[in-house]
Structure 1
């Protein structure tokens, strides 16, 4: 494992070894069985290219009613619990005693991307956001608190973890593209990103 800081983002390369990744994928499959992936729609009615689900007390959702956290999956069932192995990553790297209330799970298939955005639907921005990458490599782009301006990019590999805290907490960030098929973690390819957040 190596640790580097880029644009205020703390990046832990190869934090999870392959056995740990495989164990997390097994837990992920159980979460998705309980709360299937959905294709989210922006408030303007445009389908996003990523598929989403979540675990924890809250899930982040988007539809015609807007962006928000909700205590139930769109199908009307509670979100599954966040697995202990995922919480262990938070405990080791977040640097805070409080536990996350949401684990947002994004699946990037071939051609999927996520535009530059801020995570700002939470009540407080005092808590970090911890992001775990699994599967295909993704080109992660990092900016500042204002939209536009200089950005930096880094390829995130399977097992990498990013911590967004302090000045980076409200920095714009996104995933420009993935190298589909670059990892064998998922037999059909793709990238999964687990993002841990304190909501209330």
Structure 2
């Protein structure tokens, strides 16, 4: 049976996530209103502008509904801005966050847009072949609680992590042809 996966479609790179999920056989729901969260088995919060997405999550209490679903063990995957929004603490910021992951995140940790880059990451959870990762104004996890598993680091900075049903990446897996990160997330949905 097809997985029904939501992609938060308020702002940011949601179309690319949708395309990857569809290629992997999922039924994709573009989440624009709180009622769009009904009946999904997992949710991706895409990259974009975390401050803007955070403000939009307050409307219609969508953020509260996402927090409820996360607390009920629904898998949620945040990429870039999504990683920021999942974290309990955002360094030097009072912006809205879902606060679901026991992490401290630093925004724009690798520099501005012009300093965006691609690199190969070793991600043992995805196999022996390196993962091509695209970093665009990327954050990183400055600190993680003991219950958070570190999946990958870049130059000593945590860029990919999992806490139970929650997954967060500083990079954009939707921008490469390697779909192992999305498949990993789909496998998390199978587990739950």
Structure possessing the higher relative contact order (Cα contacts under 8 Å, 6 or more residues apart): 1
Greater share of residues in helix: 2
TM over 0.5: no
Greater share of residues in strand: 1
Q: Give the TM-score, by structure 2 length.
A: 0.28
